[in-house]
Chains A and B, each alone.
Chain A
Amino acid sequence: MSIPLISVPSPRFHEARLVLHVLLPLSQETLSLSIVLAGVLTHATAAHPTLRSRLLAKGEAHGGTVVAFATMRHALVDLAFIASAPAGLDIESGTLAAILSLLRETLCAPLLVHGTFDEAIVKQEVAIAKSALHRRAEDKGSLALHEAHEFFAPSADPLGTLEDFDLLTPERLTRFYAEAFAQASFYAEALGAFPPAVMEGFLASLPFSGKELPGVESFYDLEVPSPCPCREKTVRDNLSQSWLVSSYRVPVTSLSPERTILSVALSLLGGSYSSLLFHRIREEKGLCYTISASPYGSDPAFFIMTGLQKKDIPCAEREIARALADVAQGAFTDELLASTKQSLDSDFLSLADHLASSDFFQTRSFIRRTPCTLESTRQALSDVTREDIARLMAHATCEAVYRLEEES
């Protein structure tokens, strides 16, 4: 089947961007391999075998770039290749052709040595992937968040795992490249000033025949979780500040119809200056600088996270429990509900001004096979009621509390 193209032409953007999504069923190993593969493919091609020659090619394309990222999205691994260029260019200038040529090489003509990826390049990309894990461990807030998430047996670690990276060989990665591109589903977005007809021609010339997207229905039709005992862990370290992360399971993923209700609930809890947690724990009690409530990526879970002094943790835990109980009982003011919905509505409208809007709306449409538009999203938000929020949050069960405390 041909690669579907979503085109959002707008002459007002200063950037033209073509994004090719290579979608694969989610597994930890697939994600770990994709992270390294993205680096290897953007490192060297047969035509530009060194980073320097690729740099010069980008310079000749007036600062256009070709990059790749592997991320976990909605029960899928999304290996995205992004070619972008400053606007004000037309195809006659050669810049567009140069960037598309670099993208084609990146996708289809990697540098191979005796049929496999170069060992030194693979080794380097593995080192880079491991560095990202080390950086996370050094950012204490991110570390606490990750450790709390681990209690849930999450879909996958978004940064990959040391075990996968240690087992990775050039031969394994080369096989994965061939298998992944043969089995993936593809779709593309042409955004900004890229001419759609040129993009269609480019996509038609790629040697890929995408497969049907794997079913992800089970990812958004979820059972209400059975309550299970909350697990707690406390770690002490040589720190100036402690971190408290509490994690909750809730029957909503990033693709669930109820996702908008969860967004409103979490925003009420910790998404604004008026939110219950920010107001009570930071503004009234002065216990913390940062506090927030957010979903755990695509997983059916959310977390509440704050940085504070160890002595204040018990008080913060009580206030968090009280705020959650209030939301689950619908005990919040009309004004807070109205301003929260208005802020989210403003966010959706603003998103429509960004190139990322296509990614937000169209990716959901493509994966769910039902339209997701700005209008339908705003309508869903408008329909959210106090009762919806209370009903959903009554199903939230605290499954983990992780405390990273400063040593006395």
Chain B
Amino acid sequence: MMNTDDLTRLWTTTLSSGMKVAFYTVPEAHEGCADLNVAFGAKDRTLETLLLPAGTAHFLEHKTFTREDGSDAALAFDALGLAVNAQTGYDATEYFFSGATHLKEGLALLLGFVLGTPRFTKENVDRERAIISQEIAMYEDDPASALSNGLMRRLFRHYYYIDDIAGTQDGIKAVTPELLAHVHEVAYVPANMTLTLHGAPEAFGFASKEELRTGLESLLPSGFSPRAVPSMVTYTPDEGRGFGHATRRFNVNDPLVIFGARMDVSRLDALTRERQAVLLASLMGSLYGFASPLAGSLRDEGIVLGAMSFSCEEDEHYLVPCLTARSPRPAEARKRIEQAWKALDASTLDRPAIAAHQAIQAGSMIRERDSALDNAMSMASRLSLGLPPLARVRDLEEMSEHDLQELLSWVQAAPTAFYTLLPRS
């Protein structure tokens, strides 16, 4: 099923500084994309002996492009006609650009600015604080953010998921120029980074895999050698608190209900975890997806309006499946959702539906490779976890009874919680 040409399109290397690189070559493409993934994200709340305020990684993402003369590197990308952006996740911060011209120059800019020395001053940090404060205010009014954050605070007591990726208004007040400079110096090192490219090799200035390696070595600012990256996460198994459900009044038209489970998968390797995440999505689809009997009944009875949406947070310790429903009768929705979850066992699984959802997921993974940015980001994420840059779709699609039984054991052991937003009036 998978296009076997894909592996011949892939060049991978590791630079002498420890930076991992993957290039998905598409010689006939106009568009190119580069993604520099720094393995430092919102989850990193300790650095060496330092406790970091909520939002530090996101604040640093906003300020990394400040040049030494105070201007912004984004303007330099604009001048080249390249679209540049950055985003912070729990696991990583990513800087990426795309475009059809000046890709070689864009790559040099990207590496130069992310690895160079930014200029943090009281003035420019204060101004950025005001901008980020508006970003946080925007999320504070967003029902999806309120639901997700409310649920995480039911499922976890101190794990990093309890704070929004952008941080909190109090957290960003504690961010100083000195803190940003220190974090940048320690965390923004090549050994802590993954670079992925998608596009025509010649457009980036590389005619071969060997040229990719030597070319990138010459582009990196000097002074970097491989070194151990300090441990940045303090992981404490989380017992959680106050499971059950909580409610909050919010600016919503109908009540919104979110359901989540905290599945501890710490002992799994990255590939097994990925397989379990794919299988979990299929299981949730078979149970709560638009075509499932339960979802049909809930809609027919007017308990749920429209489709219930599924998402999953995942890291090396937890899989957290989340299900959101718009419901005029939230108490009944919670009851039925929970009943279905608790009734899950080998005898109640809808295996044909699970297999169909897996096939649909596999199709999405294959199609993702047609999008330069999606593919570059997906490769970076996988490489940073120690996985091959391209998913072996067939492996993920195939489901064994053993996989299912293992997943069911996580499901049955997982603490669950609900969070509900109710209209103000």
Residues of A within 8 A of B (CB): 12-15, 50-52, 54-56, 58-65, 84-89, 120, 124, 127-128, 130-132, 134-135, 137-141, 237-241, 272-274, 282-283, 286-290, 307-309, 335, 339, 342-343, 345-347, 349-350, 352-355
B360 at interface (Cβ–Cβ under 8 A)?
A: yes
- The 8 Å CB contact of A237, one of B100, B131, B251, B326, is B251
* In the complex with contacts A51-B291, A346-B99, A238-B424 CB distance below 8 A: yes
* In the complex with contacts A14-B367, A240-B141, A346-B100, A65-B360 CB distance below 8 A: yes
Query: Could you give 15 example pairs across A and B, Cβ below 8 Å?
Result: A55-B353, A55-B357, A59-B353, A59-B360, A60-B356, A62-B1, A86-B366, A120-B300, A237-B251, A239-B141, A240-B138, A241-B140, A339-B81, A342-B80, A350-B100
**Contact between chains at B131 and A289 (CB < 8 Å):** yes
Interface 0/1 of B355-370, CB less than 8 Å to A:
1111111111011111
Question: What residues on B are CB-neighbors of A15 within 8 Å?
Answer: 366-367, 370
Question: What residues on A are CB-neighbors of B362 within 8 Å?
Answer: 62-63, 86
- The 8 Å CB contact of B306, one of A88, A128, A347, is A128
* In the complex with contacts A15-B367, A51-B291, A339-B79, A88-B1 CB distance below 8 A: yes
* In the complex with contacts A86-B1, A286-B127, A52-B75 CB distance below 8 A: no
- The 8 Å CB contact of B78, one of A14, A54, A273, A347, is A273
Q: How far is the CB of B216 from chain A (nearest CB, A)?
A: 23
**Contact between chains at B72 and A283 (CB < 8 Å):** yes
B305 at interface (Cβ–Cβ under 8 A)?
A: yes
Question: What residues on B are CB-neighbors of A54 within 8 Å?
Answer: 291
Q: How far is the CB of A365 from chain B (nearest CB, A)?
A: 20
* In the complex with contacts A58-B356, A289-B134, A273-B72 CB distance below 8 A: yes
**Contact between chains at A128 and B134 (CB < 8 Å):** no
**Contact between chains at B101 and A65 (CB < 8 Å):** no
- Report the stretch among B26-34, B38-46, B152-160 that lies at the interface: B26-34
**Contact between chains at A134 and B74 (CB < 8 Å):** no
**Contact between chains at A139 and B355 (CB < 8 Å):** no
Question: What residues on B are CB-neighbors of A240 within 8 Å?
Answer: 137-138, 140-141
**Contact between chains at A58 and B360 (CB < 8 Å):** yes
Other A-B pairs, 5, CB within 8 Å; known A55-B291, A62-B359, A134-B326: A86-B1, A86-B367, A88-B3, A287-B134, A350-B100
B37 at interface (Cβ–Cβ under 8 A)?
A: no
Report the bound CA distance from A169 to B404 in whole Å: 44
Q: How far is the CB of A45 from chain B (nearest CB, A)?
A: 14
**Contact between chains at B130 and A137 (CB < 8 Å):** no
**Contact between chains at B363 and A86 (CB < 8 Å):** yes
- The 8 Å CB contact of A350, one of B26, B31, B132, B363, is B31
Q: How far is the CB of B356 from chain A (nearest CB, A)?
A: 3
* In the complex with contacts A127-B305, A241-B137, A345-B79 CB distance below 8 A: no
- The 8 Å CB contact of A52, one of B26, B31, B141, B353, is B353
Report the bound CA distance from A131 to B134 in whole Å: 28
| A-B CB pair tally, cutoff 8 Å | 195
- The 8 Å CB contact of B28, one of A12, A138, A290, is A12
Question: What residues on B are CB-neighbors of A131 within 8 Å?
Answer: 254, 305-306, 326
Report the bound CA distance from A355 to B368 in whole Å: 12
Report the bound CA distance from A141 to B424 in whole Å: 19
Which residue, of B98, B253, B353, has the highest number of chain A Cβ atoms within 10 A? B253
Q: How far is the CB of A282 from chain B (nearest CB, A)?
A: 6
**Contact between chains at B127 and A353 (CB < 8 Å):** no
**Contact between chains at A238 and B251 (CB < 8 Å):** yes
Question: What residues on B are CB-neighbors of A86 within 8 Å?
Answer: 1, 362-363, 366-367
B220 at interface (Cβ–Cβ under 8 A)?
A: no
Q: How far is the CB of A343 from chain B (nearest CB, A)?
A: 5
**Contact between chains at B251 and A140 (CB < 8 Å):** yes
**Contact between chains at A286 and B128 (CB < 8 Å):** yes
B275 at interface (Cβ–Cβ under 8 A)?
A: no
**Contact between chains at B26 and A128 (CB < 8 Å):** no
Which residue, of A52, A56, A347, has the highest number of chain B Cβ atoms within 10 A? A52
Interface 0/1 of B235-246, CB less than 8 Å to A:
000000000000
* In the complex with contacts A289-B131, A342-B81, A346-B101, A52-B293 CB distance below 8 A: yes
B266 at interface (Cβ–Cβ under 8 A)?
A: no
- The 8 Å CB contact of B352, one of A12, A59, A62, A289, is A59
Question: What residues on A are CB-neighbors of B424 within 8 Å?
Answer: 238
Q: How far is the CB of A125 from chain B (nearest CB, A)?
A: 9
Report the bound CA distance from A88 to B370 in whole Å: 13
Report the bound CA distance from A355 to B31 in whole Å: 13
* In the complex with contacts A89-B1, A128-B305, A289-B138, A52-B83 CB distance below 8 A: no
